[in-house]
Structure formats: structure tokens, C-alpha cells
Structure 1
Amino acid sequence: MGSLPTYRPMLAVAGGLPSGPWAAEMKWDGIRAVAYLDGGRLRLMSRNDRDITAAWPELAELPEAVDGPAVLDGEIVGFRAGRPSFEALQHRMHVRSPERIAAFAAENPVVYIVFDVLHAGRTPLIDRPYRERRDLLMGLELSARRWDTPPGYDDLAYAFAESGRLGMEGIVAKRLDSRYLPGRRDRCWTKVKNVRTQEVVVIGWTPGAGRRSGAIGALLLAVHAPAGPLTFAGHVGTGFTDTMLRDLAERLAPLERDAAPAPVPPPEARGAHWVEPKLVGEVAYAEWTGDGRLRHPAWRGLRADKSPDEVVPED
């Protein structure tokens, strides 16, 4: 694997439908992963530079589908009832036991959705335009039970409407002449979403009542302001399953601290348990309020592939 350079994934900016020389792909609700294929071996690296290969054994044969070394960019996607489901990945993201990993892989295997090629043979491709990289990727004919190359769309309005019809999160529009910019977030990739989602840092929690008595009632959330410090973004108390709540309680317990990691207004801080800002999650929400709070957030799950310092307001 040492013969291939390493690439951090390029990131998209949230926005509206652009016009001009663009194409679009569906936005997949999964775990971003760069795949390194060399000498018949696979290495999967997450967005925050973690080697996650061992967690997804059902993808191990991917190098056999490509002639020679390559670096691919894509998304690990779980499915339920034939539709992409981020929740379907939640119970696998933190598992370390090889026996449990193998059981999960056999029970509900994932698919690696490939949407870019960064290196082919010994040739780096990141300075080639997206149009050319896309043609090269389609030429690899990566389509099998455990990996696939989804179609692209020249008509962005049609692609966006189709994403809604299919129940997808949205689309990613890409300028046809754009280079691949490793580790950068750039507007030449623009994500247009049907559902607003936001990554958040968990900074504390408040106890529940009634059916949730003795458990977590709500999580206190923060994002990084443009200047860098953590800023309170509100709280979320819906969207949890009982399994999620138990898992969160176990993960938050060793992170307890005495003081809030960010300023929190007294009404929201009352009775709160503070934690080190190390866990990243994702919420769906209606809008940002004028005072910088998430309106009507609903919990979607933890994001083990994201780092707290990456979490900034997307819209």
C-alpha cells in the first residue's frame, strides 16, 4: 500500500441548484471512505483518517475487480427495504469484535458506492477535470453485489426531482471542469439536500422523565463558529431508539466533566451533565433560528467518521 499516495476526501458545500457546465450524482447517506487497492489488498480510510478496513469485510474482494493499483472515492452504504439507511450502519460503526463484525456483514452487508477515481495504475488523476475522471471511472465497470458505480445526470433539476422521488437525501452537483481538491471543501462540489442535516458535537445531556426516567432525555449540542470556538446550537430530544440511548449513555459516561465546554444559557444548562466534546452526531432539522439554534432537530445517529473540529454550520 505504500506505493500509492494518500488522499483526504474532497468535501462539498451546501447550496442551491447551480447552472452552467455541471453534472450531478445522488447524495448517498452513508460513511465516506477512500479505498486504496494495491497488490490484491484493500485499505479503507475514513474522512477523519481512520483505517476502517476491518469493519467491512464484505468489501475485501474489491481489488479483484480492478486491473492494477487504484485509489477510489466513495460511500459505504447500508440498506433497509431497498433504500439507503444511515441507521442501518449505526450498530456497526463502533464494533471491534471480529466475530460480531463477521455476523453483521453476513446478516446485512453494505455496498460501496464508488463516485470518483483519484489514482489509476501509477498515474495520479486529481488534476484531471471531473468530466475526465468520471469517464475513467465508468470505464472500470465497477458493478457487483457489494460495490457499484451509480449513474450521473446532466440535467440537475431532473436529478434533484428524482432524488426526492427515490427518497434520497439529495444530490451532489459537480462542475465538469473541476479538479479534485483533497481535504478541501469547495463550491465546485455543491450538495443540494431534500432534508436538512447538520453535524453536531455533543457537549452534554439532560436527564429524562416519564418513560425515559433514569436515562438521557436530551443531548446538548454545539458547532464550531467561523472563528473556531464551540458555540451552543440547542438540544435534541427526539429521534432516539432505546438502543441508541443505551449506547450514548455508555459512551458519554467516561467523558463526564465539571464545566460546560461552551457557554450555554441558564435555562438549557439547568440540571445538565457536561461531557468532553469528543462525540460527533448528526441531526435533521427545520432551520437555523436567528440566535443560532437548530429548530426542531431530530437525532439521526453518531458519526464515527467525523472529527469534532470539522463540525461547522453547513447552511
Structure 2
Amino acid sequence: MLIANLEAPFDSPDYLYELKFDGIRCLAYITKDSVDLRNKRNKDITALFPELNEIYCQVNSRCILDGEIVVIKGNKPDFFEVQKRTIMTNPFKIKLQADRLPASFVAYDIILLDNKLLIDKGLEERKELINKTIYENERIAISKVFDNGVALFELCKSQGLEGVVAKRKGSKYFFGKLSKDWIKFKVLEDKDYVICGYIQKPNNMTSIIIGQYNNKKELIYKGHVTLGSSLRALNQHKYTIIDHPPFNTPVPTGNEYAVWLKPELVCIVEYMPSNKDGLRQPVFKGIRDDKSPKDCLID
């Protein structure tokens, strides 16, 4: 189930509120002796998080859980650390990273229990079933529910956390649907963009060129965001250099020395909310492999 956007936090007796964790969305398929972790593109990521291989021991029934994999660093979730794990391939290095900064699975919904599909049951009933199914420890936790969205959002701001998800009471679970039943309000907004190229500047800084698709499936230029002083984050992924801009519209001046890339990678850009066009104080947050470039759409 997908989460809609809302700019302003609110309080309502019709909603429950939860922390929005800065991790990667994941479904956990759990049996009496195994766990299978799948990201939003149904990619099997179980081997990337060996520290979660035994969370089935904390679950008393066969089930499918919806939640997030998080890595805690500095007493709060760190997206970079969990995202870094998703591009690792060496089992020994994965194990070292798991020992150094172990991940946890935070469950906030239950889709199936003992072969019974739960998507038509109300939110509160699903929450009650989650609490009866999971025995929490340091590797698996249940997302806590709060009654006051504004106060929770202010707490997130003061603690440097990502934000809040408001969920309508009594709501059902809809696969792949963007619904106002689940709404997020974040301390910082973010959007997904297609990486279309990069420019290495004289000050040793590198910026990446980003784009999004319109409703005609045309790739539209959306500007630059600073990557940093090297291409390290980009070079951890496979990309293809091409000899022309990948956009369907003309490219503005200032891109004459760009290295153009085939639109294969997706990145997250974080920014301050603003009523004006464009991104205010954009910050490159990371590259994600759980979303297709074609799904990076202009609002």
C-alpha cells in the first residue's frame, strides 16, 4: 500500500499516527522456520540482511508483514547505512556490516495470517493481530501508534527524525494504491528522480543532472543536485554513458560539459518544502534500486 503526501501536519480523531522510519520498505514472508524479505520491486533482499534471518523465531504464526528495514546510527535511523547494504554483494563484507551496524525490521501492518488474507479488515483489527503475532526483540519491532499527529511531528523535528504517517481508522489495505487513507507529513520532503548525467565542476564538486517523466512518458529535465566531491556514490552502481542528453525536451544552458547517462538509475533528493517551483536547498540522499525510472513522475 502506498502513502499519499500532505504538506501540513494535522490532528484528527479519525486517524492514528506512527513514526515514519528512514529505511527501506519491505514485505516479510514468514513461516515457522524461514523468512523471505522483498523490496517494493519484489527483489529478494534476504541475503543482504543476515541478522534478520531468524526473526521468524519471534513470530507465532505463518504471516506476511509490511514494514521497514532500518539501521540505527547515532540513536536514529540512518537511510544511507541501510541503502549501502542493498548494493553489497560480498557475503563476508555483508556479515561485517551486519555485525557493525545491525538492521532491524519494524512491522506496521499484517497482510496475511495463517493463510487468511487480512486486507479487508480494518486498520485497528490488523494492528491488534500484529500485537498478538510478534514477540519483539532487538531485530524485530512493532511500530507504535499515537493519537496526536501534530505533537508527534514536532517531536520528529526536535529529534531530527523523518516524519509521521497518519492512517485512517477502519481503513482497509490496498495493494499498490496511492490512498488518502495513509498520509505522510515530513520534516523534509523528498522526491525520486532519474539520474540523467553528471557534471564535474572546477571546484572539485560533482553535480548530477536529474529528470522525471510526464504523463506522456517523456523524460523532462529537472535540474541539478550536488553529489559531492567524487563520483563514489554513483560508481557503486552500474551505469551506461551515452553521447546525447536522454531528455525529450531541449536542455538549458549550463550543461555543455555534462557526461550523459542512460536513464537507468533512480535517486532520492531531499529538500525544504516551498510553495515556489523548483527544489529549495536540494540534497542528494542516495540511489535506490527498489523503484523503476519510469515510476519517477512529475506531480
Residue 258 of structure 1 corresponds to which residue in structure 2?
243
- How many Å apart are 1:56 and its aligned residue? 0.5
TM-score by length of 1: 0.88
**Is the 2:195–2:209 contact (alpha carbons within 8 Å) kept by the matching residues of 1?**
yes
Code of the aligned partner of 2:278: R
Pair 1:284 & 2:277 matched: no
- Evaluate the alpha carbon distance shift between residue 152 and residue 232 of structure 1 in structure 2; reply closer, same or farther with a 3 A threshold: same
TM-score by length of 2: 0.92
Pair 1:296 & 2:281 matched: yes
**Is the 2:266–2:292 contact (alpha carbons within 8 Å) kept by the matching residues of 1?**
yes
User: 1:97 and 1:56 mapped to 2: Cα distance?
Assistant: 12
Deviating above 3 A after TM superposition, structure 1's stretches of 4 or more consecutive aligned residues are 16-20, 249-252, 287-290
Of the three residues 115, 131, 136, the one matched with 1:122 is 115
Residue 38 of structure 1 corresponds to which residue in structure 2?
31
Residue 154 of structure 1 corresponds to which residue in structure 2?
147
Residue 110 of structure 1 corresponds to which residue in structure 2?
103
**Number of equivalences:** 296
List aligned pairs for 1:32-111, cutoff 5 A.
32-111=25-104
**Is the 2:245–2:251 contact (alpha carbons within 8 Å) kept by the matching residues of 1?**
no
Residue 232 of structure 1 corresponds to which residue in structure 2?
221
Q: Cα deviation per residue 1:235-289 (whole Å; 9 max; x = unaligned)?
A: 0115x375xx22413536x411122221353314311111111111111113568
Code of the aligned partner of 2:282: P
Q: Cα deviation per residue 1:24-73 (whole Å; 9 max; x = unaligned)?
A: 10000111100000241111110111111110110001111112210001
**Is the 1:138–1:149 contact (alpha carbons within 8 Å) kept by the matching residues of 2?**
yes
- Evaluate the alpha carbon distance shift between residue 171 and residue 313 of structure 1 in structure 2; reply closer, same or farther with a 3 A threshold: farther
- Evaluate the alpha carbon distance shift between residue 58 and residue 276 of structure 1 in structure 2; reply closer, same or farther with a 3 A threshold: same
Residue 293 of structure 2 corresponds to which residue in structure 1?
308
Residue 167 of structure 1 corresponds to which residue in structure 2?
160
Q: CA RMSD in A?
A: 1.9
Task: Name the % identity.
Answer: 29
- Evaluate the alpha carbon distance shift between residue 225 and residue 246 of structure 1 in structure 2; reply closer, same or farther with a 3 A threshold: same
- How many Å apart are 1:204 and its aligned residue? 0.8
Code of the aligned partner of 1:284: E
Residue 298 of structure 1 aligns to a residue in which SS? strand
Q: Cα deviation per residue 1:169-227 (whole Å; 9 max; x = unaligned)?
A: 11000001211111111111000111111111101111222334xxxx11000122244
Which range is displaced more, 137-146 or 36-45? Answer: 137-146
**Is the 1:198–1:313 contact (alpha carbons within 8 Å) kept by the matching residues of 2?**
no
Pair 1:223 & 2:212 matched: yes
Of the three residues 169, 177, 184, the one matched with 1:184 is 177
- Evaluate the alpha carbon distance shift between residue 163 and residue 286 of structure 1 in structure 2; reply closer, same or farther with a 3 A threshold: closer
Residue 3 of structure 1 corresponds to which residue in structure 2?
none
Pair 1:144 & 2:144 matched: no
Residue 28 of structure 2 aligns to a residue in which SS? strand
- How many Å apart are 1:311 and its aligned residue? 1.7
Provide structure 1 residue ranges, at least 5 long, that are not aligned to the other structure.
Answer: 1-9
Residue 131 of structure 2 aligns to a residue in which SS? helix
**Is the 1:39–1:68 contact (alpha carbons within 8 Å) kept by the matching residues of 2?**
yes
Provide structure 2 residue ranges, at least 5 long, that are not aligned to the other structure.
Answer: none
Residue 284 of structure 2 aligns to a residue in which SS? strand
Which range is displaced more, 168-177 or 261-270? Answer: 261-270
**Is the 1:47–1:306 contact (alpha carbons within 8 Å) kept by the matching residues of 2?**
yes
Residue 87 of structure 1 aligns to a residue in which SS? helix
